[in-house]
Amino acid sequence: MEKHRKYTYWLCFFTFQCFLEWSPSLVEIFSWW
């Protein structure tokens, strides 16, 4: 269970990193609407 929790934590971390990386692009896209 501990291993699974650690995996989930890293998954969330990388997902968040990706989100931060894509945020500016998403803002630009929405600004065009």
DSSP the chain: -HHHHHHHHHHHHHHHHHHHHHHHHHHHHHHH-
Q: What is the domain partition of the chain in residue ranges? A: 1-32
- Mean pLDDT for the stretch of residues 2-22: 79
Amino acid at 29: I
- Mean pLDDT for the stretch of residues 16-20: 79
pTM above 0.75, yes or no: no
Q: How high is the pLDDT of residue 1?
A: 58
